[in-house]
Amino acid sequence: MYQHRDWHGALLDFPVNKVVCVGNNYADHIKEMGGKRSAEPVVFIKPETALCDIRQPVAIPKDFGAVHHEVELAVLIGTPLKQATEDRVANAIAGYGLALDLTLRDLQTQLKESGQPWEKAKGFDGSCPVSGFIPVSEFGDAQQAELLLEINGQTRQSGNTRDMLTPLLPLIAYMSRFFTLRTGDIILTGTPHGVGPLHAGDEILATLNGKQVATRVI
């Protein structure tokens, strides 16, 4: 069962709740997917059952087509937020980590084409492997964070959070207009370009500001 931890693996005293995510938050990713920039952030939710520890082997579904990796900055919420200002958001963040927003890409394409919601493609069990969290006081500027994802020794994704279309604080404030963000909720902030398929046996190395976490696909 997933539990929040710090970057070194120690348990954190936060409940485990939902994951609130944003799509299309990097222009280069929108371009690679052939999409268009939305007037407002594209927000969706992964349930608690999507969460798993990225340090453990990542199990991907076998019967729903391609499973794509999307590396993202993850934000741990430390105090509740509802209709929050950006100042309140800044004071509510407990830490930052890495996450993989695993996506059933073939299924997502089918759902989009038929006008249906994405949840089956985005919120399936184990679809959100997440690292431990680095406290805000130790992290530095989260709007200048380097993200890197390597698969089998080859760089697949490389980006910086300064390129977000909707920056962190206004993004989380926007989310809090629609969903009360509770202590222990995680925010996923979008992925840079380079998304692609995962296969059993792949070795994954994800890096956040030089801090690395490794896992493999089963």
For the chain, the structural domain boundaries read 19-217
DSSP, residue by residue, 130-192? E--BEEHHHH--GGG-EEEEEETTEEEEEEEGGGBSS-HHHHHHHHHHHSPBPTT-EEE----
100-134 residue pLDDT tens: 999 999 999 999 899 998 899 999 999 999 999 99
For the cut 90, the answer to whether the pLDDT of residue 18 exceeds it is yes
pLDDT of res. 66: 96
Q: Please tell me the predicted confidence (pLDDT) of residue 51.
A: 98
Question: What does the pLDDT look like over 61-78, one tens digit per residue?
Answer: 999 999 999 999 999 999
pTM of the model: 0.96
Return the pLDDT at 5: 98
User: Percentage of residues in the chain with pLDDT exceeding 90?
Assistant: 92
The structural architecture, per CATH, of the domain 19-217 is Alpha-Beta Complex (3.90)
Distance CA 193, CA 34 (A): 12
Which parts of the chain are beta strand (E)? Answer: 19-23, 42-46, 51-53, 67-69, 71-77, 93-100, 103-104, 128-130, 134-135, 146-151, 154-160, 186-188, 196-197, 203-208, 211-216
Q: How high is the mean pLDDT of the chain? A: 96
pLDDT of 205 strictly over 90:
yes
User: Hey, what are 141's tokens?
Assistant: 């500027």
Q: In this structure, how many other beta carbons lie within 10 angstroms of the beta carbon of residue 144?
A: 10
Q: What is the pLDDT of residue 184?
A: 98
Poorest-confidence range of 36-45, 137-146, 199-208? Answer: 36-45
Contact between residue 74 and residue 131 where contact means Cβ atoms under 8 Å apart:
yes
3-state secondary structure of 32: helix
The confidence score (pLDDT) of residue 35 equals: 81
Q: Which two tokens stand for residue 95?
A: 């830490």
